[in-house]
Amino acid sequence: MLCKAANRVINRNEPTFLEETCSRILSFCNSNSLKQGISVHSPVIKLGLHHHLYLNNNLLSLYAKCFGVNKARHFFDEMPHKDVVSWTGILSAYVKNGNHDTALRVFDSMLISGESPNEFTLSSVLRSCSSMGEFDYGTCIQGYVIKEGFDQNPVLISGLIDFYSKFGLVTEASNLFITKGNHDTVTWTMMISSCVLAQRWVQALQLYVDMVKAGVAPNEFTFVKLLGACSVHGLNYGKLVHAHILLKGVKLNVVLKTALVNMYSRFRRMEDAIKVSNSTPEYDIMLWTALISGFAQNSMFRKAASAFRAMGVSGIIPNNYMFSSILNISSLMLSLALGQQVHSRVVVTGLEGDVSVGNALINMYLKCSDNVEDALRVFRGISLPNVISWTSLIAGFAEHGLQLDSFHLFMEMREAGVEPNSFTVSSIIRSFGAAKLLPQTLMLHGHVVKTSLYEDIAVQNALVDFYAESGMLNDAWQIVDMMNRRDAITYTTLASRMNQMGHHELALHIITDMKNDDIKIDEFSTASFLSASADLGTIMTGKQLHCHSVKSGLCKWFSVLNGLVNLYGKCGCIHDAQRAFGEIGMPDNFSWNGLISGLTSNGYIPSALSTFDDMKLSGVKPDAITFLSILSACSIGKLTDLGLEHFQSMRVMYNIEPQLDHYVHLVDILGQGGRLEEAMEVIQTMPFTANTSIYKTLLRACKAHRNIPLAEHTAKQGLELDPSDPAFYILLTNLYQDAGRHDLAKRALTVMKEKQLRKNTSHSRMEIRDKVHVFVAGERSHPRTNEIYEQIEFFEAEFKKHGYLFQGIGHSYYHSEKLAVVFGLLNTPSKATIYVIKNSSICRDCHDFMKFVTQLIDREIIVREGNRLHSFRKGECSCRG
């Protein structure tokens, strides 16, 4: 149509009319960015108007807008005459294209040509200076502005405010704003924008108030900047700004709608975000992106996918950023089908070679598919993969258990000339820790030593984690000692790995290291220290950590509250465990498992089973750990039928395959119920190779029911697995003695002696005033041994005086748990609970001793043996034994 109009113009052959018509067509096309307007260029040449400066400047602008800066530059170079508009047009084209270095060179050429810049030229130059970090150049421009009398020009005042704010000099920008009066909307908006950029939120809002008082009308861009400040001040401020937009009658264009959608999305008000987006029919790619990102931020992934489909129906073509966003959503949803649909759209749009889209596709396939070949195929299709492409692929292969392949990809990456970053290296090292690939890690360690990555804390922390996980604590500490800067992750990693290895005391010593390095204990390190305290049974240390978490505001974190539930449950303070559990807003599996385990180990079997029902009613699905506690509860409570029912429900109702530990509990349940033959059948038919633990479990059941033949068979099976385990001989000996077969007991002890097997030393420990005291059976090394023994004799005399039926066996006189309990009674306040941890089972004599002690004096005694606790109070034990 424009071509036909141009032909009609030529046919009329009236010079003035021709110039005016070409000028109008170009102005219209420039205003609407219509590339068809370029067809006027040919008539302009044919009519001899190529010297017409106004037409040429319009053509230059149209080339820049519709055909890019390179085409515009080619036209500019061919222009026979140039004025300030021409130079400013090409310069601003480079600035908009992000080519600031060339923009500044064009400005230099303009000055050399003798053309004087105007306020728009200088404004564009200031933008390039701020983008290039050319502060000195920018201050020279300011000097020129003052010299040429432009210092009151609102365009340049706005430009200088933006310039100073980009360099973080908000005070200078503010001083400039204050000293220059009569500001327009653009200048006020620029100053507000500077405060938002510098995170001076209060000042930004105050400026808006001052702007309104000054009678300057805000525009849509003013409100866009204000909505950025509301992200910190809260939803109410955002609503107030929205109300002002409506009150001032500002047109709700797509830019403003996008800002409002972002604001409401940030505060999880997606209903309001949708209402804003639908308030006018105009949509663009940025508004759709804001809406879809809002759904994703609020974990509304299905709605995000629906919005993406609606965008496609509306006819708006997604860009690379949009494709990357929706592919990341597919990864979070673990939806391979959605990811594949998006992939097909990417191919149709022609963006399959785009690096950012390719990276998102690699991530999606590695997260959603078991087949890594799809991700590899996408990777090979990227023309110039960057470090993110390589890192995504390498980390993904490692997550799929293909550590060696990921290592080979790392070597290929280096050969391709792409330098790995800290995330690349740390991802590989962490995956190697799980796979125990020491030689490959040593090679990687050697590589990073030769590069600047060795100074990167993420890489150093990954190496610390690898060596600690591999049991090489000395090597881990060597890296920690040479680190220039350590953080909470460094020490939390060490504490976590030490806990896994059972070095709980060493884990707690890390608190001192963190304090010496002036590193705050965060929620993750607190959880690790609480775990160490729970496993050590150092209740006072645990309570100190609890106090610290309350003072520092860490008690709101799931990991800390779950750690407290675990601590108090393992230390016999079940009411404190329940109180900590009650503070968790939405308990997860760890929360419920911790509480159920604590109730079970403390002997509250009905409460444990009731809590299991509550867990299911709350909608939290039980996992394998949950069933370990439930099966243990059924075993302790001698609930054979219920235990069998729960074991069967694992596979049938919850699709959980029982593991070896579950079968150990099943054998214990059957053994407690006297169904010994069934228990042996379980061992013979289970889909796992039996270990010594399951045979010892059955052997204890045989002892309880005095089944000598099955006990001997079970002991034989266990000793074939581990001939050096003395527990089988000890259990058999005790069974023979209980059954009156002292000859067999003597023979078992003789065989044990011939094989030079000795019973593991029994010891007990307790914490008093932050110091752990250890007692060993039969030893008299403790400085207060005589006092302890005198107290034991006093108690036994009192038992006889009160008529208690205490049978006191001679050798139990020196048992470690008895020594620890009496020491606690002598050294703690009269109402304090005595808490003792023993590394083996408590004997019957010591069990009765503690029952009678609590009948004599009003004290609670808690003894922990493994995962089970005995809580003695008023002559009764929680085990009801």
DSSP 549: H
| Cα–Cα distance for residue pair 168/808, rounded to 1 Å | 80
* Tokens standing for residue 390: 């390589």
**Residues 753-774 pLDDT 10s:** 888 888 777 888 888 887 888 8
Between vectors from CA 571 to CA 566 and to CA 573, what angle results, nearest 5°?
A: 90
The whole-number pLDDT of residue 47 equals: 62
DSSP 3-state percent helix, strand, coil across the chain (nearest 5): 70, 5, 25
Task: Tell me what pLDDT residue 32 has.
Answer: 63
pTM of the prediction?
0.69
Residue 130 predicted with pLDDT over 60: yes
Beta bridge partners of residue 772, listed in sequence order: 767
pLDDT of 812 higher than 60 = no
What amino acid is encoded at 514 in this protein? M
Q: pLDDT: is 745 or 435 the higher one?
A: 745
Pick the most confident of 249-253, 610-614, 822-826, 836-840.
610-614
Which of 17-26, 566-575, 863-872 tops mean pLDDT?
Answer: 566-575
pLDDT at position 10 over 50: no
- Spell 802-841 as b/e; 16+ CB within 10 A means b: eebebeeeeebbbbbbbbbbbbbbeebeeeebbbbbbebe
CA 124 to each of CA 60, 364, 671: distance values in angstroms, whole numbers, following the listed order = 17, 41, 85
SS (H, E, C) 706-751: CCHHHHHHHHHHHHHHCCCCCHHHHHHHHHHHHCCCHHHHHHHHHH
Separation CA 427–CA 434 (nearest Å): 11
Token pair in block for residue 711: 């006990």
d(CA 360, CA 352): 11
**What domains, with CATH codes, occur in the chain?**
152-250 (1.25.40.10), 764-877 (no CATH)
How far apart, in whole angstroms, are the C-alpha atoms of residue 811 and residue 406? Answer: 60
CA 275 and chain centroid, separation = 32
Task: Give the burial string for 262-287 (b: 16+ CB within 10 Å, else e).
Answer: bbbbbbebbebbbebbeeeeebebbb
Q: How many residues does the chain have?
A: 881
**98 band by pLDDT with thresholds 50, 70 and 90:** confident
Q: Is the pLDDT of residue 268 over 60?
A: yes
315-336 pLDDT per residue, tens:
888 888 888 889 988 988 888 9
What SS3 string covers 427-468? HHHHHHHHHCCHHHHHHHHHHHHCCHHHHCHHHHHHHHHHHH
- Position 614, amino acid: D
262-266-271 Cα angle (round to 5): 75
Specify burial of residue 90 (Cβ count, 10 A radius: 0-12, 13-18, 19+).
buried
HEC secondary structure over 791-807: HHHHHHHHHHHCCCCCC
Return the number of other C-beta atoms located less than 10 Å from residue 724's C-beta.
Answer: 8
Lowest mean pLDDT among 25-39, 179-193, 459-473, 596-610: 25-39
Cα(481)–Cα(475) distance, integer angstroms: 10
* Structure letter (DSSP) for residue 252: -
Q: Which pair of structure tokens corresponds to residue 520?
A: 């705050």
Over pLDDT 70: what percentage of the chain?
A: 93
Nearest to 123 by CA among 92, 81, 83: 92
pLDDT for 34: 60
- 3-class DSSP assignment, residue 339: helix
Say what the alpha-carbon torsion angle 786, 788, 791, 796 is, to the nearest 10 degrees: -100
User: What one-character DSSP code corresponds to residue 852?
Assistant: H
Task: Give 782's DSSP letter.
Answer: S
SS3 (DSSP) at 765? strand
Residue 2: predicted pLDDT: 46
Q: Distances in Å between the alpha carbon of 249 and those of 120, 245, 252, 516, 820?
A: 29, 6, 9, 59, 79
- The residues that bridge with 776 in the sheet, in sequence order, are 763
pLDDT classification of 511: cutoffs 50, 70, 90: very high
The predicted pLDDT at position 426 comes to 86
Residues 6, 40 contacting (CB under 8 angstroms): yes
Q: At what angle do helices 403-415 and 422-435 cross, to 10 degrees?
A: 150
Res. 676 pLDDT band, cuts 50 70 90: very high
Percent of the chain residues topping a pLDDT of 90 = 32
Q: What local confidence, expressed as pLDDT, does residue 127 receive?
A: 87
The pair of three-digit structure tokens given for residue 408, joined into one six-digit string: 């080979």
List pLDDT tens digits, range 701-760: 998 899 999 999 999 999 999 998 888 988 898 898 888 888 888 898 888 888 888 877
Which is more confident, 296 or 65? 296
Q: What is the pLDDT of residue 575?
A: 93
DSSP state of 784: T
Average pLDDT over residues 301-314: 88
DSSP state, residue 756? T
Among 61-70, 212-221, 598-607, 780-789, which stretch is predicted with the lowest mean pLDDT? 61-70
pLDDT of residue 19: 64
Average confidence score pLDDT of the chain: 86
Strands 876-877 and 868-873: antiparallel
Q: What is the CA radius of gyration of the chain?
A: 39
Q: Closest Cα to residue 764, out of 536, 485, 448, 496?
A: 536
Q: What does the pLDDT read at residue 806?
A: 59
Q: In Å, what is the CA distance from 230 to each residue of 239, 263, 854?
A: 9, 7, 62
Q: What is the pLDDT, as a whole number, of residue 9?
A: 45
- Nearest to residue 387, comparing CAs of 352, 353, 433, 356? 356
Half-sphere exposure (Cβ direction) of 126: Cα atoms closer than 13 Å: 27
- CA-nearest of 339, 313, 317, 344 to 326 is 339
Handedness of CA 356, 361, 366, 367 (dihedral sign): positive
Q: How much is the pLDDT for 576?
A: 94
User: Exposed, middle or buried, 239 (CB in 10 Å: 0-12/13-18/19+)?
Assistant: middle
Phi then psi dihedrals of residue 861, to 5 deg: -120, 125
User: At residue 680, does pLDDT exceed 50?
Assistant: yes
pLDDT tens column, 153-208: 888 877 888 887 887 787 887 877 777 766 888 888 888 888 887 778 787 888 88
User: What distance in Å separates the CA atoms of residue 166 and residue 138, rounded to the nearest whole number?
Assistant: 11
pLDDT of residue 165: 80
Which three-class secondary structure state does DSSP give residue 84? helix
Other Cβ atoms less than 10 A from the Cβ of 755: the count is 13
DSSP per residue over 675-708, as a string? Answer: -HHHHHHHHHHSSS---HHHHHHHHHHHHHTT-H
Looking at per-residue pLDDT, the higher value among 417 and 8 belongs to 417
- Residue range 636-640: average pLDDT? 91
Confidence of residue 351 (pLDDT cuts 50, 70, 90): confident
Q: What confidence score (pLDDT) does residue 33 get? A: 59
Most confident of 47-61, 422-436, 506-520, 821-835: 506-520
